[in-house]
């Protein structure tokens, strides 16, 4: 079995990105060995990579994920999909288990990346629903786990043709 890999589409919201990695690791037990972060704002690249490392090391102190940021020069609908599909294909061809995280993505990025990655046989797709916003004034970066609802769209639903989701 290969490595676990997360491909995350990130807009402007690093808090949602952090909480989604946190929820996937804690609720779905998906702690990636490698994280690819696709974004359009160059000034967020270094902070997004630091957030990924911090969150994953808080789940598993031995976690030392490789983190790569990919900057899209033009954030058009097709660009999000092409880049996500390219990374998913590369990782799947290497025998890895790949999850796509669209929680912090702009809508067009989430849709394009989901469709393109689905066609490349992505193993898991995560989207976090932060149900209770009363904690948003909390100075902590990560919201309490009971307040998080992680939607996981799994490959089994594709095989069954049901389009079902598993909620954790």
Q: What CATH code is carried by the domain that includes residue 88?
A: 3.40.50.10770
| Structural domain span for residue 139 | 4-167
Total of domains in the chain: 1
Determine how many CB atoms are found less than 10 A away from the CB of residue 50. Answer: 12
Q: Tell me whether residue 140 is exposed, middle or buried, using C-beta atoms within 10 angstroms of its C-beta: 0 to 12, 13 to 18, 19 or more.
A: exposed
* Mean pLDDT of the residues in the chain: 82
Predicted confidence (pLDDT) per residue in 35-86, tens digit = 999 998 888 899 999 999 989 988 887 878 899 999 988 777 788 888 999 9
pTM above 0.85, yes or no: no
pLDDT (mean) for 88-108: 92
Predicted confidence (pLDDT) per residue in 3-28, tens digit = 999 999 998 888 889 889 988 998 89
Give the per-residue pLDDT at 139.
44
């Amino acid at each position: 079995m290969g490595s676990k890999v997360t491909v995350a589409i990130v807009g402007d919201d690093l808090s949602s990105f952090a909480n989604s990695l946190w929820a996937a690791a804690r609720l779905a037990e998906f702690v990636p060995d490698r994280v690819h972060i696709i974004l359009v704002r160059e000034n967020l690249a270094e902070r997004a990579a630091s957030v990924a490392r911090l969150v994953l090391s808080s789940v598993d102190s031995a976690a030392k994920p490789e983190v790569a940021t990919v900057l899209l020069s033009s954030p058009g609908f097709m660009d999000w999909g092409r880049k996500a599909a390219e990374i998913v294909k590369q990782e799947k061809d290497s025998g890895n288990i790949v999850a796509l995280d669209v929680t912090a993505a702009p809508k067009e990025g989430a849709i394009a990346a989901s469709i393109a990655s689905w066609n490349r046989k992505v193993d898991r797709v995560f989207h976090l629903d932060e149900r209770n916003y009363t904690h948003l004034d909390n100075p902590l970066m990560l919201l309490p786990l009971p307040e998080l609802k992680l939607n996981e769209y799994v490959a089994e639903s594709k095989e069954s043709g049901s389009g079902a989701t598993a909620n954790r």
